[in-house]
């Protein structure tokens, strides 16, 4: 999937995702993350959105994570996640 996403995603994804994400993220990533994300996500995801996610995230994050978090994020994502993408 490469392009703009608007709405809820609830289902299985196995492959590459490259696109723009703008919205809220509330879930578990080796700890809780509740904040606003506005930026690009480019990486491999194998798991559930609104459920279980296991994969990589490499991209720009501009928003709030217990305060302002602005910069690059690269690493493994594993745990529970629920995301609304607008």
The total number of structural domains that make up the chain: 1
Convert the pLDDT of each residue in 66-78 to its tens digit. Answer: 444 445 444 555 5
Whole-prediction pTM: 0.23
Range of the domain at 81: 2-85
- CA 4 – CA 22 distance, rounded (Å): 10
Convert the pLDDT of each residue in 9-54 to its tens digit. Answer: 455 555 555 555 555 555 554 455 555 555 555 565 555 555 454 5
């Amino acid at each position: 999937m490469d392009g703009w996403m608007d709405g809820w995603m609830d289902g299985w994804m196995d492959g590459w995702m490259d696109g723009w994400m703008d919205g809220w993220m509330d879930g578990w990533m080796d700890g809780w993350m509740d904040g606003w994300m506005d930026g690009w996500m480019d990486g491999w995801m194998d798991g559930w959105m609104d459920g279980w996610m296991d994969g990589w995230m490499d991209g720009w994050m501009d928003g709030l994570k217990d305060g302002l978090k602005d910069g690059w994020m690269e690493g493994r994502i594993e745990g529970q996640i629920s995301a609304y993408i607008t």
